[in-house]
Structure 1
Amino acid sequence: MLFDSTVRRELARSFGVTLVVILTIVLTIMLIQTLGRAAGGNVAPQDVMLLMAYASLAHLPTMLSLSMFIAVVSSLGRMYRESEMTIWFASGIGLARFVRPVLRMAAPVIAVVILLNLLLWPWGNQNSTLLLERFQKRSDLSRVAPGQFQTSRDGNSTFFIDRDSEDGRTGRNVFILTQRGDSEAITTSAKGQIVLEGDDRFLVLDHGQRNETNEKTQEKSLARFEEYKVLADSQAMRTADQLPPKALYTPDLLRNPNPKNDAELTWRFGMILASLNMVMLGIGLSASNPRRANNWNLLFAMLAAVVYFNVVNLSQSWVANSRTTAPLALLGVHGGVFLLAIGLMWLRDQGNRLCLPRFKRKVAAA
């Protein structure tokens, strides 16, 4: 039908342009943030692009939902401003008739959102978490760049080393400044190496000395050693059972119900329902006055989208804090928005029915 094909073509064009713009903005922001973390020593430089790919998968459902919502509001808003909607209304087509072509256009997008939220979202978070943890839980010696001072993970130690091995486990001219409470210790050694014992990593120093000062009592001590063994890292990598809820697959969350897992399920299913509600809400929010050349309807629609997404995150925190259950949160938030969207379309249709007789009388008089 001409009506359906016209609406879908208009929506597809607007959706493509909007998605490209949003992707460009979000990817630029994520690149700046990831490069900042890499410069601060929290991310390995060689993992920047990989972490950006995982972050893009994590934010893609929100970007798709927002792009579809903006496409609906901008496309139908343009029809209002150029009086195309007046022609459709005068032909006996109400605003509710736009639901079918809009949903047919949005159905593939919603299907992709479901796939991303239920499958790729936990997969990307799991890989991103393990990648960051693998970098953070390296031994302190292996994190030190030759000729540069580097702070340990806990912030209590500062290292300087000249590395002389390809595996990064052996170095020469080791300097370690350690501060714990009122005690400050400076340890120097001609050579140091990393020794693995089970899940623990020990830093073994050869032929050095240790100067320790108590800043409160000003007592000092000096000790020389042939071999000095320091625990560098005692934490092993987390297993799958210790991963955060956002990194667990949906069946695992369903098999292990608790407030944290239920909150994650509330967010995942909530984003799916939000993508559908945003499309329905956009149909009612797209109305504008053709005599006023402005985009206030788009501004109000964006404000509504921001409030809606914040309420989705708020419902997740409610479930996590055991203030409500996941079914009640989903029904209350998304059911309420769905009724609001239906009511808004009904009010627009009632207004059109009241205005069309006057419009027809003016046309006849002219």
Structure 2
Amino acid sequence: MLFHSSLRKELSRSFGATLVVLVTIVMTMMLIRTLGLASKGSVNPQEVFLVMAYTVLGYMPTILSLSLFIAIVGTLSRMYRDSEMVIWFSSGRGLADFVQPLFRFAWPVLILIAAMALVGWPWANSQTIGMRQQYEQRSDIERVTPGEFRESSGRLRVFFIDKDTPDGATATNVFIWAVERGLQITTSARSGRIEDIDNHRFLLLSNGQRLERPLFTESGLKISEFKTYGTRAGGSSNATGDSTPTRARSTLSLLRDRSDASLGELGWRFGMLLAAINFVLLALTVSSVNPRVGRSGNLVFALFAFVVYYNLLNLGQSWISSGRYGMGSFMLLLHGGVFLFATAWLTLRNNNWSAHRQTRASAATAGSPPPAAPPSRIDPTS
């Protein structure tokens, strides 16, 4: 009981500290990335922190797996360095005896990883993609800022206004540059206003001039003046449910679809849980260190193993999505192979430790002096 409780208590402290550090690092990286998207006009600046939160939530399966892996490796490496493992081994505990307390500690984390990979990951992606699409599909006039040139959603028109009213419905000194039907059209007006006609938003310009010039020829310049001119301001959306990326679709919809892209995404989601289970076994086998040597090399090797495994998981998703491999065969090859490798390595190390203990016991027995022979009885008649 002392063996299990002491190990789980130290694992809890190490896991909590590692999780906080990794979440802080990921949030900082995502904040920089989201601010870059906001500066390019891909994300609403008012929703930067919300997009960042959804993004970090989507990466939680990877963060939890890495935190669990580092916590186990760091705790067991510390126990090797401080000779605590020698004490447990001397008391009759083998390396295989650590499997049960490790999984008793890890099973809530494994359930959380499964929930985040199967439910949290697609939900967070759907929220992020929805906000970005809503911001991208806003009308062209809503993109305009007084005193700044702004491109339209299709990047075929450029708007400029001098001033606008507080309600944003009227503007003065309007300038529009557009490419339509092979013509370069420049329109300027003293004022403009927004009106909704037949469920479409139009910009009505007043007292202006329109200049049309062919793109590929020098002739054919046309100049016209108008008192009132209307142009489409955008705001329509042609997006359908079929265009939803697989990473933003629910697990149930992917199970019903069964296409290569859906199977690739399913392989990644279920693979995160299987990879987390294998990471527990791998952490137990790679955590052995020499107390006389620093543990940095051991941690570097463990981190390298995590990176290779995670990249193979992502590579397998692309292979399954392209139809090169089936989901079942790849998952059996990758996760089953890693499980057999970790189990064989753990069994070998556990048996080597048992054999080492038997050898020491035999050597101690062989080195002890033989028991003294009982004194022979002397016949007094001799």
Task: Report TM bin, short chain.
Answer: over 0.9
Kindly state the Cα deviation for residue 348 of structure 1 after the two structures are TM-superposed: 1.8
Cα separation, partners in 2 of 1:46 and 1:249, compared to 1, 3 Å? same
Q: Which residue of 1 aligns with 2:29?
A: 29
- Report the CA distance between 1:154 and its aligned residue: 2.9
Partners of 1:24 and 1:76 in 2: CA distance: 24
- For 1:97-112, list aligned pairs within 5 A: 97-112=97-112
Q: Which residue of 2 aligns with 1:50?
A: 50
Deviation at 1:163, TM superposition (A): 4.8
Q: Which has the larger radius of gyration?
A: 2
Q: Which moved more, 1:16-25 or 1:164-173?
A: 164-173
Deviation of the 1:98 alpha carbon = 0.6
CA contact (8 A) 1:267 1:316 kept: yes
CA deviation profile, 1:189-230 (whole Å, cap 9, x unmatched)? 223344445675443333321223345432222122233333
Match of 1:246, as an amino acid?
R
Whether the aligned pair in 1 keeps the contact of 2:74 and 2:287 (CA below 8 Å) is: yes
Counterpart-to-counterpart distance in 1, 2:84 and 2:131? 53
Task: Count residues in correspondence.
Answer: 366
Supply the distance in 2 between the matched residues of 1:338 and 1:200 (Cα, whole angstroms): 59
1:275 aligns with 2:256: no
Residue in 1 that maps onto 2:77: 77
| 8 Å contact kept, 2:157–2:176 | yes
Contact 1:175/1:189 (8 A) holds in 2: yes
After TM superposition, list the pairs within 5 Å mapping 1:240-251 onto structure 2.
240-251=241-252
Secondary structure (helix, strand or coil) at the match of 1:233 reads: coil
Contact kept, 8 Å, 2:139 with 2:236, in 1: the verdict is no
Instruction: Summarize the alignment of residues 294-309 of structure 1 with structure 2, pairs less than 5 Å apart.
Output: 294-309=295-310
User: Which amino acid in 2 is paired with 1:302?
Assistant: L
Q: Which residue does the alignment assign to 1:185?
A: 185
Query: How far apart, CA to CA, are the structure 1 residues paired with 2:363 and 2:174?
Result: 91
| Paired AA for residue 115 in structure 1 | A
Contact 1:142–1:169 (CA<8 Å) still a contact in 2? no
Q: What is aligned with 2:356?
A: 355
The aligned counterpart of 1:325 is 326
Say whether the 8 Å CA contact 1:182–1:214 is kept in structure 2.
yes
Q: Larger deviation: 217-226 or 70-79? A: 217-226
Contact 2:76/2:287, CA 8 A, preserved across alignment = yes
Letter paired with 2:8: R
Q: Deviations over 1:222-250 (max 9, x none)?
A: 12223333334364163444321111111
CA change 1:363–1:23 in 2 (3 A) is: farther
CA shift, 1:164, in A, is 2.7
TM-score (norm 1): 0.92
Q: Partner of 2:137 in structure 1?
A: 137
Counterpart amino acid of residue 349 in structure 1: N
TM-score, normalised to structure 2, is 0.88
Identify which range, 214-223 or 252-261, moves more after superposition.
Answer: 214-223
Shift of 1:180: 6.3
Larger mean CA deviation between 165-174 and 194-203 belongs to 194-203
CA distance in 2 between counterparts of 1:57 and 1:309 reads 18
Letter paired with 2:351: Q
Partner of 2:266: 265
Which residue identity does 1:252 align to in structure 2? S
2:117 is the alignment partner of 1:94: no
Paired with 1:197 and 1:87, the residues of 2 have a C-alpha distance of 82
Point out the more displaced range, 311-320 or 112-121.
112-121
In the superposition, relative to structure 1, how do residues 270 and 147 fare at CA in structure 2: closer, same or farther (>3 Å)?
same
CA distance in 1 between counterparts of 2:273 and 2:228 reads: 60
Q: Which moved more, 1:99-108 or 1:155-164?
A: 155-164
Offset of residue 29 of structure 1: 0.7
User: Residues 200 and 236 of structure 1 are in contact (CA less than 8 Å); yes or no, is this contact kept in structure 2?
Assistant: no
Shift of 1:183: 4.5
The answer for the alignment partner of 2:337 in structure 1 is 336
TM-aligned CA deviation for residue 176 of structure 1:
1.5
The answer for unaligned runs of 5 or more in structure 1 is none
Structure 1 position 116, deviation (Å): 1.2
How far 1:171 moved relative to its partner? Answer: 2.3
Per-residue CA deviations over 1:30-50 (Å, capped at 9, x if unaligned) read 111111211222211111111
Alpha-carbon distance, 1:23 to partner = 0.8
What is the SS of the residue equivalent to 1:176? strand
- 1:306 to partner: Cα distance: 0.5
Name the residue aligned to 2:208: 208
Counting aligned pairs with the same residue, the percent is: 44
After superposing the two structures, state which structure 1 stretch, 199-208 or 325-334, moved more. 199-208
Deviation at 1:160, TM superposition (A): 0.8
- Contact 1:201/1:231 (<8 A) preserved: yes
Match of 1:125 in 2: 125
Give the secondary structure class of the aligned counterpart of 2:168.
coil
The equivalent of 2:113 in structure 1 is 113
Contact 1:183 1:214 in 2 (8 A): yes
Check the 8 A contact 1:141/1:169 in 2, yes or no: no
Once the two structures are superposed, residues 9-34 of structure 1 have per-residue CA deviations (whole angstroms, 9 ceiling, x without a partner) of 11111101111110111101111111
Moved more, 232-241 or 68-77: 232-241
Q: Please name the residue that 1:19 is paired with.
A: 19
AA partner of residue 122 (structure 1): P
Match of 1:231 in 2: 232
Alpha-carbon distance between aligned partners in 2 of 1:262 and 1:217, rounded to the nearest angstrom: 52
